[in-house]
Every structure is written in structure tokens, then in C-alpha cells.
Structure 1
Amino acid sequence: MKEIPPKERITFHLRSFSDDKDRLAELTSLMDKAPLIQLKLLLAGEKKRGQELKKVGLRQPKSMYIFTTYTVDSVVEETGDNKSLIDELVIWVSNQTDNFWAGLQGKKGEGGEVSKKKRHKFFLTAFNEGYLRWEQLLDIKMGLTIEPMSASEYWHYIWQKFNDQKTPVIPQVIKITKEGIEEEINTNKHPISRLIEGEKGLPNCPDGHPSYIKIRRGGKEHYVGVAVLSSKPAGFDGVADQLRYLWEILCKPQVKDVEIITQFSAANATVVKSNMQRVTKQNNLAVSMAADHQNIDVGANLNTRKSVQTQEKIYEGAIPLNVAMTILVYRQTLPQLNDAMSTLSDCFQLPAKLIREVDYAWKVWLQTFCICWENILSTPFNRRSLLLTDEALGFTPITMTKPGSKKGFELIADEGGAPVKIDFIKSHRNVAVFGTTRSGKSVLVSGMLTMALAANIPVVALDYPKPDGTSTFTDYTKFLGQAYFDILKESNNLFEIPDLRGVEAEEQQERFQDYRAFLESALVTMVLPESEGKVVLEQTVRSLIGKALSEFFEDDSIVERYNRALAGGFGSPAWKETPTLTDYIKFCENVDLEALGGGATLQEAQAQILLQLKYWQGSRVGKAIGNPSSFPTDVSLLVFALRNLSNQSEAAILALSAYSAALRRALSSPASIFFVDESPILFKFKEIATLIARLCANGAKAGIRVFLSGQDPNTIVESHVGSQIMQNMNTRLIGRIQVNAIESFTRFLYYERNIIAKNASESFFPKRSELYSNWLLDIDGTYTYCRYYPGALQIAAVANNPDEQEARDRVLSRYPPDKKLEALVDFANQYTAAIKNGCSLDTVN
């Protein structure tokens, strides 16, 4: 603030309105792309939820704008008044002289061209000495993340002040380049006329009143109240307190649909010093006169001390500023506006005072517009406050929630209600979700998966169901009509190759080699689940497996069977003849050991390979991965249910099977998600943890996003590749945790105790009556406490408690199979109503 140029001004504008247009537009776009009617229904539920949040004011998008000025003519008065008569005369004589000399030189009519060149020079000067200087001040010295507005964005900003319909083309645009200046005219109407011409026969011209302004937008009337800060608070407890002063007021639940506009301009330091000295002398005289009468003038002593302190700060480098802070409040009726203005004034504690403008609110409202030349509160009376730079920060509305991405999965900030979005569709984001049981992990993750599936991003998930085979994703997958892989019922061919027919030939070879490398690692894990201390054997086994794989994929009959299976598709006779583990074992048996040099080591390695692979071939797990896939593996959602496993080795092999499916989808799609739910057991296997770490580190190349879910980070971080996994988790969501888990998050993820302790408090439990869960969002090192408000249909689709499943079954049993969508809607309405009212689910039927 100390470097504000003389006679210039900077205006900070923070807006906070209940609005859902951007959210509805995004969800509508996703609904248009969604491949399944079920996904469209879930997204429709999200739209309804967004409308509910807007109605009650819980969703308050915030935006901040900064406007600066640059005065080409240095004689313009500080108040922004017109030039003096002498200045106007000088400019007129200069223009006439240019035209006169142009005429004498035979270039009559080119005087306008000379004037045009001058204007072009003025604009270039304004950019180089004005805009670039302000940009350096805001970006480098103030540390703000700024983005210049385009002409269309600037026009949209002005347009939405008066109108609710779609922003039209800009009437006229002046374009400045290094070469010259030109004007693009799209309509002959003046921009102001275009702003207020209205629609449906009704103008949008505001009605100005002494205490309010009535505006019409979209055929609806709104009332605007104007409040002015007339007295500052007693002081601030540090810079952080200054930055949060206005923000804490804005975050109060009763404060909504408001704009805070603060304008700064440099004051004359010499005049301020002189005034302070005069005040000091007057108060000293008052103190002296009081002493002569044997009295004490406390007020004069206090004023003297403050005046001296102010002068000390100025001599130490503080700069006096003219500060004008106004708050605009919008409501639909006058009674609502009066109540809101009174409530807002009460939010400012004495000695700070926020006074409603009741004499010329319309004029102050006009002065807040970025297209108005008058300084705010400068006319008809100068009501600006005179503050030093060390306290001006408290009235600068630059604190707000970091919004994250422009589109994506949406959370609502706990402070202020601003939407915070995570874009894992367009951007590569690995996501880790932590939270204790009943913290809302499953609903949160299912909401993410719904958005991904609607954007045609396939998902492969590992799920750990209950002993009866049911889990969070059982009913969700069934509702979507996708594939749920149960090892007791289904098979997923480990040797099924990715469908690369839609990929260019050169890239086909590269992607196939990626798949072959994985398959080799998977087979080594099957043969040697634990190989510590057996380096030579492991190397030999890997060599023999690699050689057998090479011969396998080079065999003409194998290649022909693969081609016929891909051409026939799932369920065809050729599909049932797809090469499998059984075919590969034959190649392992026929490896020519003598050609490799023979010896006991090779024989031992071959024996180990055949022993282990034939063991898996005859086991329950081996049948699940050694037969042609019994379901279409090109479905959008493929969930692997790992249940009734006899040992951890089986879990590892099935995880490899899931990984193969994920890799096939990744190699066939530009983007995909690999989700591991409640996965501590997987990280006990070196090979499995290595595979997941490889996905986290290098998955971006294949477009694979890794989602992990668990109760705490211990098992993941303590694995041999734990640091590699967590370092690549650029997005973390931490819900309600147990008190004894605080130490894990401070030790392994380096969260400060005072930050993560909030997650263990009672207040962090999901609030069932309002249907939201609490989360700490850590995105690229920025922490934000958020809430997740899922749609009723999303909650109903993943409800998996026994009583919830029974209630859902009761409702669904009343509908025929072709009415499952109506059935879910009915259950969702009854279920959420019972939760909000604290009723038993026995009433749901």
C-alpha cells in the first residue's frame, strides 16, 4: 500500500452471493455426456441438492476483483473532477496546431491521424507504466495470485450487475497493439444503454432512493442497501487478525448476498503531518489550561498521545491513505433488506461502526462501479477515512477460500460456504481418503466415482466386503448395472490383453510392452511370493518367465486366438477360446534349458515355476484368474470383491488380477481410475505395494488416477514404498478420525496437532440431520475444512448398514424390475426424511 502512485486509486471488490448457476451448468453438461440413465438420475439428485443449498444460503460462491487507475494527464484533480479551463485550452490549441501543420503540408484531414497516434501512445504508456506497475505491486510485493480480466470477462462483470440473462457481445471494443489502435463495433448502441435496456418490455434502469436502490434483473426486483464504515476498530492483534477482520464477518451465517468494496488512494503526507501537529498543539494547550485550574483533561492527554504516535509512524515510513469502505446488501424485499442491514451493523463491535446510508445511497452505489470516475465517498462530501498503511490492511477484503479448480467434484467450505472443487477429470490427481468407520468415506468416494463415470472415465475398484458378500459398492454396482467380480462366482482372465485396435500402430507396440512387463511381474509374484535372500533364484525365474512369455506372444496360434476373441467380443465362441494361464504353462514346460546353458539353477527355477503355476491353476483363486473372463471387462465400473480368502497370498494374486484389469482399461482409455478401498492387507506384499507405488508415480503417463481409502495412514506409510505412494497423493481428504489416530497423522503425514485434532472432535462427526459430512481437504499443501453435501439419491445408492439394506429391499420389492429408478427415488425420499427427523428405518417401506 505504501507504493500507491499519487493521484491514483486501487479498489478491492469481494462478492458473496447465493448462486448455483455454475454448478447446474456443469452437472447438466455431465448429464448430457453420461452413458447410463442411472448416472443421469444420480446427477439430477446432485442438481436438486445444489438448489437446496442455494435456497438456504449454504452455497455462497465468492469472487474478488481488483481495479486500478492510471491517469495519463497528470493535472487531473485527485477527486477525479474534470480538467481546468486552462488545461482544456492547452489541449485544444495543441490539436488545432497539429491540424494546421498537417494542412500546410498538403495532408489536410490527417490531423485526426496525428491525434490517433497520440492516443495510441497514451494507451501504450498506460500499459507499460500503469498496468505493469500495478501488476508488479500486486503479484510480487503483495504476493497475490492475480489474473487479468479479458474484455469479455470485464463486460460480463458489468453486465451481471443489471441483467440476469446471457451476456451479449460487447457493443464496442478498443484494441491496442504495438502497431496501432482500432475499434471493433458490434452495435451502435452505447454500452450503458445496452446495460439497462432490459427485456420483455421492462427496462433495467435502477430506481434510486435515499436509503436504497431498486434494481430489476431477470424480471425480478431486488433491493440494495448501502452501508459505510464510519469508525475503525480499536486495533488489531497482528497481521493475521487484520486479514481475517472482514472475512470473519463475511463468514457469519446471517451475512449473505453482499459485496464489500474498499478503495484506497494516497493522501498528502505533508498536510497530514501539519494537521497532526496542529492537533497536538491544541491538546497540549488544553492540558496546560486544565493544569492551571488544578484539573486533568483526560481526553486531551489521550488525543495528544495518539497524535504523537501517528506522527511517529509517519516519520518511520508509514504512508497516510484515503480509505473508503462500503458494503452493499442485496435482498428481494424492503423488510428483508432492513433486517439484513441491522444484522450486518450488529456484526461490527464497538468502537467500529457500520452506518447505513439513508440520504444518498444511490450516489454511493454508483460510485462503487468500476466504470465510474468519481472516488467512493468523495462527493458530495469527503467522507473517506484517513488511515496509515499499517492499519489499512484490516479493511482490505482480500481473504477468501482458495476455490481450487473451476470445475470438478464439489465440497463446500466450512467457513463462508464457498464451493471448493477438485478436478480429477481434466487434471491428473491421486486421491487419498482417510476416516474412521461411519465418517462418510463410502458416500464421498461414490460421489467422486459417479462424476468420473458420467465423464466416461472407467473405474476399477478393489472392495473388501462383509462375510456375506455385501459391501458399500455391491448395491451401487448393481444399481448401475456394472460388473461385480466375486471370486466364488466369476473369473477374470489374467492373460486377457488390452484392446488396442483404436490406437496407432507405433503406440500399440509401446502400450503392449507396458502390459507385458506387468504380466511378467505378476507371474513372478505368483511363483515367488516371498523371495528375500534368494536373489539368484528370483533372477533366474524372471528370465525363464520372460522367455516363455516371448515365445507365448510370438506363437501364431496364440496370436490368432487373441484376434478372433477380440473380433468376436464377450460371450462369443471365440471369446471362450481366449488364451489363458493353462496355455502359458505349456510354454513354460517346453522352454529349452540346454539352449540357455543348462545347469541345476535353471532346472530348479523351472521346477519352481511349474509347481507354483500348477498349484494356482488348480486352486479356487487360480480358476478365477485362469479362465476366460465371465463378464465384459470393458464395463465402466469393475469392482473386485476380495472375500473368504484363505491366506494373504490369495489376496495378492487377486489384487494382481484387478491391477491387470485396471491396466487394460488404462491402455484402452485416455483416463481411468484405480480405487483401493480399505487396503491395509495389500501393502504387506512387496510386489503389490510396488505396483501401486508405480501407478502413483508413473500412472499419469497412462492416465491412471489412483484413489486410496482407509482409516489411517499407518500401513501405507510403513510399507517399503510408503513414502513414494504418499508423496504422489497430491489430494488428501481426512474425515472424522479417532482420538488415538491423531498421532498417526502427525507422525506419518506431518500435520500439525492443532489442525488434525479438530478431526477427532465430536463436532466433526457427520451431521445426519442436515445430511453432510466434515472433511479436511489437503490439496497441494493448502488446507481447507469442508463439508460434503451429497444428493439424497447418492446416499440411498450406497447405504449399506443391515437396517438400511433391509429398508431398501422393502421399498424395492414393491416395484417391478423395470421400475428400479422409481424405486430408488422412493427409497431416497423416505430414507433421508427418516434420517433428518431421527426416526427409525422401520418406518421406511
Structure 2
Amino acid sequence: MFTGQYGEHQKQKVETILKLAYIDGYQRAEELFSDQLKLGVRAKSSEEMRDDLWKRFNDTPPRKIPYRILFDGKTFTEEVNSDIDFMSYLMESESSVPVAKKKSVYVNNRHTGVLYLADKPDGWMDEGDQLRSLWDVVAKDRVYDTEVFCQLQLGNSRLMREKLKSLTKQSNVAASTAAEKNDVDVGAQLKAEETIEAQASLIRGNVPLHTAVVVLIHRNHEQDLDNACSNFIASFPRQGWCVRETEYAWRVWVETFPQLTWDKLLSKPFKRLQSYQTSEVPGVIPLCKTPLIDHKGIEFISQEGGNPVYLDLFNTQRHLGFFATQRSGKSLSNCELFTLALAHNIPVTVLEFPKGDGTGTFSDFSYYLSPYCSYLDTGSSILGFNCVEPPDLSGRKQKDQVELLGDFKEYLKQLLFLLVFGGKEKSSQEIDPSRVSSLFDLMIARFYGNNQIINRFAKAYQQGQGTAAWDSMPVLWDLLMFCSPERLELVDADSSTIKALKYIKLRLLAWKETKIGQILSRPTTFDSNKLMQVVALRNLGNNLDAAVMAMMFNLFAARRSLSYEKSIIFADETPILFQWDSLAMAIGQHFAASGKSGIRVIICAQEPSSIGRSVAADMIFANMTTRIIGRIQRGAIPAYEKWMGYPPQLLEPLVNYGINKKGRYSQWLLDDSGIYVSVRFYPSDLLISLAANNAEEAALRRNYFNNSEDKVRALVDFSKVYLNAA
């Protein structure tokens, strides 16, 4: 701290130094990157710099910064947390103290080798090749635990021009001398052309930059480090471009800490900097990297670079589409997504089409997580789904409850429309759909406003599931009692209205005698409070039955979503679902307008044509923010071009995607709002074993579950057998 008049003078000197450092240092560098290299730059915070330094010396959480100077735009202040020197502060334990060796440095229980770019590249084919020249080496699978440091220093343009003029004169003299002897000096002519081009580049605004690029490779064992350094050097197209420092690696390693040393990179004991123009520098510094989508969420690994790529559906509003052929690993990534959603306490409602025996893609997953999941088999003779049961809005804000209840009534009306018109309301010539819509609004309003209905719901909720009051809860057929002019208080109902009421009653009574009608006739028979509900559509009479059950699923999912601020709706096998306009429109409306209700919609299909041909295609594709595409058939490429606008060159590699059994990963193209990343998904061994849905695999897994009282132990035992056989 500075005190007194002398102290004030010293303080002003320090402030002057810091201001000049900002003006002559940071601002000049920012202008270079922004104006010359066209790069966005951001100054790191003191915490970020501390974290970068700390992790190079320690594996523990960082301590408080011992000393720093803060500037609020007007005055400088000091913040002192410790008198310990910053170098000592970084060395928390004995393993933090670096040990210098001839070829490497040992610190933080790792051996570090030092390499640097010793020569300029011969050139690049185009700008893309230039930007990727260093990335193509760093992104290889065998390159990991590797850091690249680059230091740029402005050169003297005037001095560079004078040198180039001198070289031009020398080349011209050599060419003239050769001509006098009736000879041709090809080398002199080429040098003259190159120096003239370099001078022209300087005149056009290029700036010379002295550049140092150093690569640090970390390994646990020295032999592994030697192999890694040799492999890295061999990855460059020409020998001698990249070399390893084998005499004083520690010296160059120290120079990679600009916060701790005044020495510039590759400056001692002699300068080994390379001079580049600003147009050339992007080819030797690490500008390319894997796009960062989110900081957490479901984890993928980029194909290039092996970096984690996170997709967060839990804190970011997204609608997602999974597209891939069979046996591409869709179920694995879906189960991982469901698991993370449950961990975030986000309800998930899944619709799938199981096999004839009632088992489906997610049946064993639901069984394994039975405390959190219910598997609802529509082929069951005891299943009951009360579609008129109102959502629990107790956890929502009071001001939102009326609006949310209105949303639920709208979903219920969509189900009633499908029951009455069979999804073909447009083809009806005798009954006006708009009149029926108005009647449904009146029926629903009278139903939920009736005191007797309200009391029956209240008593059922109070006594709970399994009681007589629960069994007496109002169901769909109680709503049918309000399908009359008297109950709707229609004093002067015309003949068209009477005819529409009769038609509604006739269609709903016809459904009462069907299997689906029996499901609708019962109060809910499953625990609807479980976070994950899987609805398996099975043993349905026809496609209309499937559409009605799917619409019931949509209503059920919407009701659950209204009780939570966030929820997920997952629809599998969309080609079957989208045959019916009502259901397609319901899902499309979720895509278009579910942001306020927090619903994340995920649809899964083998290709996009079925969605594209549906009435809701525009709503779905326009609001599908994220698309994950796996292996596709070559014949499906035109469909992706037509409905998603992907160019053929982007789709062609996906034909060879799929599951890599040796590496235990699946391959995907991740498209998040136009950001494309080729990624891999690495599921855990237990998830692979749990989600395997081949008939033989599922039968063997169920055998392990049936023969063990401990589901975890059974899955572990099955996993060992299954993965060894795979």
C-alpha cells in the first residue's frame, strides 16, 4: 500500500505504467487481431488466468488470488489476500514443483515434452486448407493431452520493405549477369518475383509478424511421451517443419508462462522466431476448434479433435429430431437423454410401438428404473386413462393457472375431435366442424364448472388412488351428460345444432363399446406422479385406434407438462403417427407454441419424408432447432435435401455412419441451429446392455432380471456376458 506524498507519487507512477500498458500493449494487440486478422478477441479475467496457471501445476481446486489490482474505470485499487509470492502460491504441494530434465519437464505428476514449429510451410491450396493446416494435426485421435501456445510480435514494416528492395536488386543483378553470359538464372528470377509479391503485399496493408508456435505434450510415462512426440512430428507433411527441443526443454517450457516471465517465446538462448505476414499467420496458429454449443447436458465427443460437445435440453428450450436407420444407436442416445432428464427432475412422456408380446425399446429401461418410470401397455385389460382428469397446477404461479387450465382444455378438445371425426373432419359434408368446436367449448366449460363434478374430483384426490372415491372420479362419459341443449343452456337451438349434438353423442357412445372406450371408461390405473411414463401402443384394432391412443398420449403428456415448468415429450416411429392430421397438428402445435409451457418435443424417425408430407410439416421443420442424424440409406439422401435443405456433400458421409462395435460408439451429425458438428456418442457399458433391443438380447437380459432379486447386480452380470460376446 502507498501512504503519504511519496506514496501518492509512486501510486501515480504505477497507474501511468498500467495505462500505457493498456494503450500501447492491449489496444495495439486488439487492433491487430480485430482489424488485420479479423478475429474477435476478449481479455481474460483474473480468475480465468489464475485457473489456467493453477491447473498446469495442480489437480486441486484453485485457491484465492493472493494479489491483484482492480480498475473500475476511474481509479485503481489493490486487493491483497496473502503475502505469498505468486510463484510460491502456485506450488501447493511437492508434485507442483517442476523438475527440469534435458528432454522434458516433470510437473504435476506428468512428463511434458516441448516441440516447436521450426520452418515455414510451403503454402496452402486455399484459405480453408490454410486454416485447417495445424488443426488437421491436432485433431487426430492419437493426439491428446496436448497444448499449443502461440506468440505474435509486430515487425517493422519499413525495415522489411528495405530488405525486400535489397533482395530484389540482388536478384535482378544476378539475372542480368546471367543474361550477359547467354544464360538463365531461374532461381534469381523466382526470387525476384517472390520479393516483388512480398513488397506488394506490404503495400496492400499486410503487416510482418514475428511468430513463435510451441507445442506441449503431456504423458504419464517418458516412453509414452517419446512416442507421442514422434507421432506428432510425423503428422506434418514435411520433415523439419516441427521439431522437438531436446537440449533445454525447461527453458522453452518456462517461456510458455507470459504471466510469470518477461522472456518472449523462443527468444533464448537465440531467437528462433519465424516472420510471417498477417495473411499467412492463420496457417500456423490454432484458430480452428470444435464449436461450443453448451457447457453441460448430454455429452458427445467430436469426430475431429476428440473434444466434448454438450447439448443441454434441460436448461435451454429446444425441439429435437433424431433421424437414423435401424441399428444406428438411436435408443442408446435416447436412454441417456431420459436418464439425464430424470436426474434434473424433468418429467418425460414417451410414445412407442412395441412388439407383439408387449416388449418395446424402452420396456426394460422402464423396468430397471421402476421407482421413476411406468410402462403403460395399451394391450393390458386393466389399463385406465382418465382423459378428463385435470392437471395439478398447485406448483405453478397463481396468475398462470387459468391460462394453463385453458391450454389443457384445448388439448382435450383435440382428442374429442379425433373421436368424433376420426381425423377426417375436413371431409365431413353434413356436420360443420366449427359448430362442433363451439359445442365442445361449451360442454367442457359446463363440465369443469359443475359443482358435483368438482366435488367428485376433490374427494378422489383427497382419498387417493385405489379408494372408492378414486374409482368414482368423473371420466369421459360424465362429460357426455353435458351433450344436450338443456345442460348447455341453449334456449333457441336450431336444427343444425341439435343434429351436431346428436352426432357427437352417437360417435362417443360408439367408442364406449370398443377397447379404447373401456380404457377411457376407467379412472387412471397407473401412478401418474412418476417422472417417466412410456405409453406402448399395442393390440389396436386399426390405424384410427392407434391415432386415438396417440392423441390420448398427447393429452397426457400435455397435462403433465402443465404441472411442471419443464417437460419432455418423445414420439417414436413418427411415420405411423403422422398418418393422422389431428395428431400431426397436435405435435406441430407443440413445436410452434410450447415455449411458454416449457415443453421440449423430441421426434424419432428413420427419415424425414413422413414428417414432410404431413399437414404440420412447416410448423415442425421451422421450429426443430436441433437435428441429430445418424446412418442413412443412400436412397434417402433426396428426402433430406428436399425437407431439410442439406447439400448432398454433407449427407454422403452419413451413409457410412453407424455403430463402431470395437470402439463402442455411434456416429452422428449434430446440427444445432446451423452449427454442424460430426460427433460420436459413447454410452456406458451398463447403458449398452440395458438398451440393447434385439429379440435375443432382450430375452437374455430378462432372464438375468428374472433370476435375480437385485436388478443392479443382474444388469452388471448381463453386461459382462453381453459385451464380451459383442
Normalization by structure 1: what TM-score? Answer: 0.81
Indicate how the Cα distance of structure 1 residues 144 and 684 shifts in structure 2: closer, same or farther if over 3 A, else same.
farther
Conserved 8 A contact 2:374-2:526: yes
Superposed, 1:732-751 pairs within 5 Å as 732-751=627-646
Aligned to 2:432: 537
Indicate how the Cα distance of structure 1 residues 456 and 147 shifts in structure 2: closer, same or farther if over 3 A, else same.
farther
Aligned to 1:771: 664
| In 2, Cα distance between equivalents of 1:112 and 1:395 | 47
Conserved 8 A contact 2:377-2:536: yes
Aligned to 2:338: 449
Indicate how the Cα distance of structure 1 residues 526 and 145 shifts in structure 2: closer, same or farther if over 3 A, else same.
farther
User: Secondary structure of the residue that 2:202 maps to in structure 1?
Assistant: helix
Superposed, 1:180-195 pairs within 5 Å as 180-195=75-90
User: Secondary structure of the residue that 2:356 maps to in structure 1?
Assistant: coil
Q: State the shift of 1:488 in Å.
A: 2.5
Conserved 8 A contact 1:498-1:668: yes
Aligned to 2:116: 228
Q: State the shift of 1:832 in Å.
A: 1.2
Conserved 8 A contact 2:353-2:538: yes
Q: State the shift of 1:124 in Å.
A: 5.5
Match of 1:404 among 259, 274, 293: 293
Pair 1:349 & 2:242 matched: no
Aligned to 1:239: 127
1:167 maps to a residue whose letter is: P
Indicate how the Cα distance of structure 1 residues 594 and 555 shifts in structure 2: closer, same or farther if over 3 A, else same.
closer
Match of 2:195 among 297, 303, 307: 307
Q: In the TM superposition, what whole-angstrom CA distance separates every residue of 1:465-522 from its partner, at most 9, and x where no partner exists?
A: 1222221111111221121112222121101111122334332222212212221232
Answer with 793-802 or 535-544: which moved more. 535-544
| In 2, Cα distance between equivalents of 1:304 and 1:138 | 30
Match of 1:684 among 575, 579, 588: 579
Pair 1:394 & 2:283 matched: yes
Match of 1:631 among 526, 530, 539: 526
1:472 maps to a residue whose letter is: T
Conserved 8 A contact 2:302-2:309: yes
Superposed, 1:376-387 pairs within 5 Å as 376-387=265-276
Answer with 127-136 or 439-448: which moved more. 127-136
Q: In the TM superposition, what whole-angstrom CA distance separates every residue of 1:799-842 from its partner, at most 9, and x where no partner exists?
A: 12111122213333432xx311100111012111111xxxxxxx
Q: Give the root-mean-square deviation of aligned CA atoms.
A: 2.3
Conserved 8 A contact 1:485-1:491: no
Superposed, 1:255-654 pairs within 5 Å as 255-290=143-178, 296-350=184-238, 353-371=241-259, 372-481=261-370, 482-489=373-380, 490-529=383-422, 530-532=424-426, 534=428, 537-589=432-484, 591-592=486-487, 595-654=490-549
Conserved 8 A contact 2:258-2:264: no
| In 1, Cα distance between equivalents of 2:350 and 2:522 | 21
Q: State the shift of 1:132 in Å.
A: 6.2
Indicate how the Cα distance of structure 1 residues 294 and 544 shifts in structure 2: closer, same or farther if over 3 A, else same.
closer
Answer with 740-749 or 139-148: which moved more. 139-148
User: Secondary structure of the residue that 2:570 maps to in structure 1?
Assistant: strand
Q: State the shift of 1:360 in Å.
A: 2.7
User: Secondary structure of the residue that 2:4 maps to in structure 1?
Assistant: coil
1:319 maps to a residue whose letter is: V
Q: State the shift of 1:109 in Å.
A: 2.2
Q: State the shift of 1:411 in Å.
A: 0.7
| In 2, Cα distance between equivalents of 1:285 and 1:562 | 103
Conserved 8 A contact 2:374-2:533: yes
Match of 2:106 among 214, 229, 234: 214
Superposed, 1:156-167 pairs within 5 Å as 156-167=51-62
Indicate how the Cα distance of structure 1 residues 677 and 267 shifts in structure 2: closer, same or farther if over 3 A, else same.
same
Answer with 641-650 or 772-781: which moved more. 641-650
Aligned to 2:715: 824
Aligned to 2:683: 790
Percent of paired sites with the same residue: 33
Q: In the TM superposition, what whole-angstrom CA distance separates every residue of 1:238-260 from its partner, at most 9, and x where no partner exists?
A: 11011100000112223222111
Q: In the TM superposition, what whole-angstrom CA distance separates every residue of 1:736-774 from its partner, at most 9, and x where no partner exists?
A: 11110011001110001011111113xx12112221111
Q: In the TM superposition, what whole-angstrom CA distance separates every residue of 1:400-459 from its partner, at most 9, and x where no partner exists?
A: 111211000011111111111100011111110001111111111111111111211111
User: Secondary structure of the residue that 1:183 maps to in structure 2?
Assistant: strand
Q: In the TM superposition, what whole-angstrom CA distance separates every residue of 1:326-346 from its partner, at most 9, and x where no partner exists?
A: 111222232222222222222
1:439 maps to a residue whose letter is: S
Aligned to 1:43: none
Indicate how the Cα distance of structure 1 residues 609 and 143 shifts in structure 2: closer, same or farther if over 3 A, else same.
farther
2:316 maps to a residue whose letter is: S
Indicate how the Cα distance of structure 1 residues 113 and 572 shifts in structure 2: closer, same or farther if over 3 A, else same.
farther
Q: State the shift of 1:594 in Å.
A: 7.4
Answer with 264-273 or 277-286: which moved more. 277-286
Q: State the shift of 1:290 in Å.
A: 5.0
| In 1, Cα distance between equivalents of 2:10 and 2:76 | 11
| In 2, Cα distance between equivalents of 1:560 and 1:136 | 72
Q: In the TM superposition, what whole-angstrom CA distance separates every residue of 1:597-620 from its partner, at most 9, and x where no partner exists?
A: 222101110111100111112211
User: Tell me, which stretches of 5 or more residues in structure 1 are unaligned?
Assistant: 1-98, 100-107, 836-845
| In 2, Cα distance between equivalents of 1:161 and 1:126 | 26
Q: State the shift of 1:144 in Å.
A: 4.7
User: Secondary structure of the residue that 2:426 maps to in structure 1?
Assistant: coil
User: Secondary structure of the residue that 2:415 maps to in structure 1?
Assistant: helix
| In 2, Cα distance between equivalents of 1:334 and 1:344 | 15
| In 2, Cα distance between equivalents of 1:531 and 1:516 | 19
Conserved 8 A contact 1:345-1:354: yes
1:321 maps to a residue whose letter is: L
User: Secondary structure of the residue that 1:460 maps to in structure 2?
Assistant: strand
Match of 2:650 among 736, 752, 755: 755
Answer with 314-323 or 343-352: which moved more. 343-352
Pair 1:718 & 2:613 matched: yes
| In 2, Cα distance between equivalents of 1:795 and 1:526 | 40
1:408 maps to a residue whose letter is: G
| In 1, Cα distance between equivalents of 2:33 and 2:503 | 68
Conserved 8 A contact 2:665-2:680: yes
Q: In the TM superposition, what whole-angstrom CA distance separates every residue of 1:248-294 from its partner, at most 9, and x where no partner exists?
A: 01122232221111211211112112222222333444445555666
User: Secondary structure of the residue that 2:193 maps to in structure 1?
Assistant: helix
Conserved 8 A contact 1:465-1:641: yes
